[in-house]
Amino acid sequence: MSKIIYKSAEEIELIRESALLVSRTHAEIAKVIAPGVTTIELDRLAETFIRDNGGIPTFLNYGGFPYSLCISLNDQVVHGFPGKYTLVEGDLVSVDCGATLNGFVGDSAYTFAIGEVSDDVKKLMRVTKECLYLGIEKAVVGMRIGDIGHAVQEHAEKNGFGVVKELVGHGVGVKLHEKPEVPNYGKRGAGIKLEEGMVIAIEPMINAGRAGVKFWDDGWTVSTVDKKPSAHYEHTIAVGKGKADILSTFEFVDNVLKEKNNN
Ligand code: MG
Ligand code: MG
């Protein structure tokens, strides 16, 4: 059983650099993502951008995963393969990205709407993002892992959505997946205590319908059992005193999308 890898302040700054590279990669994707673009093009763009900036795409060859991005469409929850699929108006696209820079790993996911999506899908995106930040609010010294999951689950279920239980957030920084597991469900005050030096990826995976998922024969792709859409947002954060330090950011990607919508 591996142990939690606690990080020094200096190491947290290095993880921030990696997480910011991931955040900037999401912004590059935002610039081009549109109807007519294939998902493999997004993967190539991400790999090139990460390498041009001195990084390594963390997901590529991780446990045999064959791409730099996980691209999960519509009813796919996570770990989808980029490929020949051409995006169309109304698609919901979750893009998960990891980058290793100077030996440290950042991990962040963002869900994109392609053109106009239904009001139900817009609500799913908004609530999933809210779940992420509600979870992050609990990632402070003295709280417990269950407080994070409880906050995420309560908000999702209050809105009539299903919380994926089979996949969880995780410690991150030296490796992509470290201890502890960070479930998106839980009980207040339950689980291990959060302490300084812990860096975790909080990543709600929220389904528009039922919580259940199925695992594909490709060994990776996960989709909803009821074929309804799913959204996924993720930040790498450092547990802080009174307040979490969010190491990745959606500022870059949101700015690009805002700019696009104004044109
Ligand atoms: Mg991720
Ligand atoms: Mg992750």
User: What CATH number is associated with residue 199?
Assistant: 3.90.230.10
* pLDDT for the residue numbered 263: 77
Q: Are 141 and 240 in contact (CB under 8 A)?
A: yes
CA of residue 122 to ligand 2 center, whole Å: 23
CA of residue 177 to ligand 1 center, whole Å: 10
Give domain status of residue 99, yes or no: yes
Give domain status of residue 86, yes or no: yes
Q: Are 108 and 19 in contact (CB under 8 A)?
A: yes
Give domain status of residue 58, yes or no: yes
Q: Token match 């291990």: residue?
A: 192
* pLDDT for the residue numbered 113: 98
Q: Which domain holds residue 46?
A: 9-262
Give domain status of residue 139, yes or no: yes
CA of residue 97 to ligand 1 center, whole Å: 6
Mean pLDDT by 10 residues, the chain (263 residues): 91 98 98 98 98 98 97 98 98 98 98 97 98 98 98 98 98 98 98 98 98 97 98 98 98 97 84
Give domain status of residue 2, yes or no: no
Give domain status of residue 3, yes or no: no
CA of residue 128 to ligand 2 center, whole Å: 15
User: How far is Cα 165 from Cα 225, in angstroms, rounded to an integer?
Assistant: 13
Ligand nearest to the CA of 171: 2
Question: Any idea what DSSP says for residue 82?
Answer: P
CA of residue 234 to ligand 2 center, whole Å: 7
Q: Token match 């100077």: residue?
A: 102
* pLDDT for the residue numbered 133: 98
Instruction: Report how many domains make up the chain.
Output: 1
